[in-house]
Amino acid sequence: MEASVEQLVYVRDDEYTVARMSADGEPDFVATGRALAGVQPGETLRLFGEWGRHARHGRRFAVSGCERVTPSSVRAIRAYLGSGLIRGIGPKLAYAIVDHFGEATLKVIDGEPERLTEVVNIGPQRQGQIVQAWQEQKAIAALMVTLQGLGVSPLLAAKIHQVFGKDAEEVLATDPYQLIGRVRGIAFRIADRIALRAGVPERSPQRVKAALLDRLEAAGSRDGHCFVPVQVLVREAAQLIEQDQELVRPMVDALAGERRLVVETHPERPDEPVAYLKHVHSREVALTAQLTALLRARSTLPLRSFEEDAGLHDDQRAAVTMALTSTVSIITGGPGCGKSHTVKAIATVVRAAGGTVTLTAPTGKAAKRLSELTGMPAMTIHRMLAQQPDPDPETLFDERPSQADLIVVDEASMLDLHLATRLTAAVRPGSHLLLIGDSDQLPSIGAGDVLADLLRVTAIPRVELTHVFRQAGGSGIVQAAHRIRAGRLPATPGGGGFWFEELDDPAQAARRVAHLAMVAIPRKQGVDPGQVQVLCPMRKGETGATALGRLIQDQLNPATDDKPEHWSGSTVFRVGDRVMPIRNNYDKGVFNGETGTVTAVVREERAVEIRTDDGEQVTYGFDELDDLTHAYAISVHRSQGSEYPFVVAPIVAESGGVMLRRKLLYTLVTRAKAWVVLVGQREALELAVHRLGRRRDTGLARRLTLALDG
């Protein structure tokens, strides 16, 4: 039958879709199945399948296949144009266009688009926008058909078109490996499936090279490594394409000859060659040179000593002296050890002597927290690198923040190789660079382990703050964190800010976490549910961030007929949703880790509007929604640099508990300000406390040691 999509009800991660449909001569009905993947409200489909009855939901049409067809009736055309599929046309304008052209509407848009100006409120500019959007939608629909024929999800069509435009079909036919790394959601396996169906030979050099680069890229994005031993790289690539290692090994040298990767000796095992992606190797070399230059530069700080402050502990005074006398230095320490108070003391001394100070952090939330703790203005590293002067003269930033006499970087464990290289390149030799961090927290999301590497270089001055101050020592969170840091189980069930609730069943633990976050803690503490953050060690599984976030969203912000929403893949964005950018966007002025609320879904503009917690209004196009995630439940990695009044987290050994390790648990616990509640299995808690993660493969420490010794 032919039917129009009225509403998407549910889309699962495996693309199983539930949609409400309408068809001439039929009452509205529900259609289900993976064959519906990628359909949007307003589209007309030719459905193949059979009727059935669900025990709870009643009559349904199980779809085994579907084809997109051009809507032909006035009602279907009006629904299609008014659905937001064509940018620039909303429901009101759709009515006007269809009232004017009737059943010939789509033929006019496709063949005689200049006639659109016959409609009131459509001028040449709007007419051009509509024609462009119409052509884009046609191209995406054609790509969907192509991808379905290749056995690939049609949901990727819009992303491929966004990157390659009119060349998309040619790329799919001639070199699908170009998709890897350029189209979000396409890794080697999908590109390889397309390539093999397009006729690329299994043993082709093109395929082998793509597999090698994919394994190198995955080592960085998944595990944070900067290099991979060549022997390991060859073995993994051979397994990926199910070919002999003898076929793969020569392609490493070929890629090196093309300057797409770099092969050199292992930093600690001279007889073992390792491979870097070219851009990763370049950054590691550049960061080494830049840090060496900063360390060797003559200080230009106006003051090199200070009068001792009786309010400082001995190790804090040592840290102040170090920061004033060393051009590059590091302060580390756990929670409650006075890192922020020490930073404030250092900055106060420098400013009193007439020097300039810039306080920075990798994320907006971390910068805001640093500002609150020190009572001084702070900015993100990204803003500093943009060289934007602060409009308020009382902030005491100089005209170019990266050229200040003292630059303080808080949450330095979050610095990846890319950001650290950009940071040090911007610092003026002679300025003092002070890194503040907790080496026991999780390392950066991106490749590298910069803080840990610098702590391995003995020539770089550092002070570890170990004294826990009385006001912090009474906190159950601080006590639990220091026990975890030392490899000891926190006291359970706990108290005074830390609580562990034992539940063995993952499904029960997930429901309990959701109840605590939505009902129990807000009621007991008299706070809004927005003050409670759910953190998850994993993204997938019953207790993962995806499933828990969806569960909480359905309770706190359920779908209603009067609430606008838009499905992007298996994620639905509704007005009222709490969301978080997962990538920095300098044009929009938003950064990874910030949070906000969806205020509007504007179909005719194919966009979602968000108000950030700082009051900024930001717009994301439907084709940019991969840059957003819901903030109801997030991974521990996503929480780095942030602090929340109340934290609830599941701790279960689901899927082997692969993510459970000491740094992750320690980072999780230290995100809470007032209370942290862990729910789950005691053995999972023990596993997390005692399991140490593998050190990342990087060459920075060795390079820097050699450079400074030389």
| Token couple for 93 | 């304008």
CA distances from 173 to 179, 206, 275, 565, 609 (A): 12, 14, 30, 35, 37
How far apart, in whole angstroms, are the C-alpha atoms of residue 498 and residue 536?
A: 17
Q: Residue 623, Cβ neighbours under 10 Å: how many?
A: 17
**What's the one-letter identity of residue 575?**
V
How far apart, in whole angstroms, are the C-alpha atoms of residue 332 and residue 321?
A: 15
Rounded to the nearest angstrom, the gap between the alpha carbon of residue 499 and the centroid of all alpha carbons in its chain is 29
The DSSP string of 129-181 is HHHHHHHHHHHHHHHHHHHHHTT--GGGHHHHHHHHGGGHHHHHHH-GGGGTT
Query: Rounded to the nearest 5°, which phi and psi values hold at 71?
Result: -60, 140
**What's the one-letter identity of residue 602?**
V
Cβ within 8 Å of residue 431, ≥6 positions away: 294, 300, 301, 327, 403, 404, 405, 406, 407
Is 25 assigned to a binding site?
no
Q: What is the torsion angle, in degrees rounded to the nearest 10, for the CA atoms of residue 457, residue 462, residue 467 and residue 472? A: -90
Q: Are 623 and 607 in contact (CB under 8 A)?
A: no
End-to-end CA distance of the chain: 77
Q: Are 595 and 583 in contact (CB under 8 A)?
A: no
What are the helix (H) ranges across 486-525?
506-515, 521-525
Cβ within 8 Å of residue 37, ≥6 positions away: 11, 15, 17, 153, 154, 155
CA distances from 573 to 58, 137, 607, 616, 625 (A): 27, 21, 11, 19, 9
Is 615 assigned to a binding site?
no
Q: Say how many CA atoms lie within 13 Å of 646 toward its Cβ.
A: 22
How far apart, in whole angstroms, are the C-alpha atoms of residue 26 and residue 4?
A: 11
Is 339 assigned to a binding site?
yes
Q: Residue 174, Cβ neighbours under 10 Å: how many?
A: 13
- Strands 607-612 and 26-33 come out as unpaired
| Token couple for 420 | 């650290």
Rounded to the nearest angstrom, the gap between the alpha carbon of residue 413 and the centroid of all alpha carbons in its chain is 17
How far apart, in whole angstroms, are the C-alpha atoms of residue 178 and residue 188?
A: 10
Cβ within 8 Å of residue 702, ≥6 positions away: 267, 268
**What's the one-letter identity of residue 96?**
A
Short-list 231, 228, 240, 224, CA closest to 191:
240
For the chain, count helices (H), then strands (E): 25, 27
Is 563 assigned to a binding site?
no
CA distances from 341 to 331, 344, 353, 376 (A): 12, 5, 19, 11
Short-list 383, 401, 362, CA closest to 640:
362
Is 52 assigned to a binding site?
no
Helix axes 205-223, 245-257, angle to 10 degrees: 80
Short-list 94, 147, 227, CA closest to 701:
227
Q: Which residues sit in the known binding site for ATP?
A: 336-340
Q: Which residues sit in the known binding site?
A: 336-340
